[in-house]
Amino acid sequence: MSKYMPAAEKPTPDTGGVSGGQQYAACDWREPLSAQKGKTLISRHLRVAMRLFVGTSGLADAKSEYQSAWRTSKQGTVTDSVGSIHNEAPILTRGLGDEAFLHHSVTTTALGRNGTTRMVVRTENAVITVDFDGATYPLDHDGVAVQKKAVPLDESVTRGAAQAVARDVTTALSSCKTCVRR
């Protein structure tokens, strides 16, 4: 974690809970948008979410959830009154879970630009989503990030981080002896 989020604050868990045949949990890590010294600041955000589908339809439901995420990732550029999201074509990723894809998007709003890489992995009846984003911000005279002038992190950085975290989470889940299986 420290390699990709060296200044991360304490994680914020979202236990989500149980709803029907699903169990949901997520955790967010953020780096601060202020600094004591310097002219620029790099701030990153990582979100790891897992949806576990249980019951007789658990596997089919997990496959459906994965396919829905796949379709959404192929939407191209979407623009509305708030700004725009440019989705690059998703890339299938082999060797991770039962099926996985990676995709990068750039969001542009009045607050600035942000690049996010999302990795979605289905392993048996679980769907894992990893979002990694960040930007470099100039700092004002008080050491606070000027968000309107954000420059998204290089795509290779966010892709590498999202893949590494997804691989670690998937490996941990696959190794878990007490996890709920289909």
The DSSP H or E segment spanning 62 is: helix 58-73
| Residue 35 included in any domain | yes
pLDDT value at residue 113: 82
* Cβ count within 10 A of residue 181: 11
Domain span at 50? 12-175
Convert the pLDDT of each residue in 81-107 to its tens digit. Answer: 888 888 888 999 999 999 999 999 988
| Residue 2 included in any domain | no
What is the pLDDT averaged over residues 165-170?
94
Q: What is the CATH number of the domain that holds 106?
A: 3.40.1000
Would the pLDDT of 29 be above 50? yes
Confidence band (pLDDT; 50, 70, 90) for 182?
A: very low
Do 101 and 89 meet the contact criterion of CB atoms below 8 Å apart?
A: no
pTM, two decimal places:
0.88
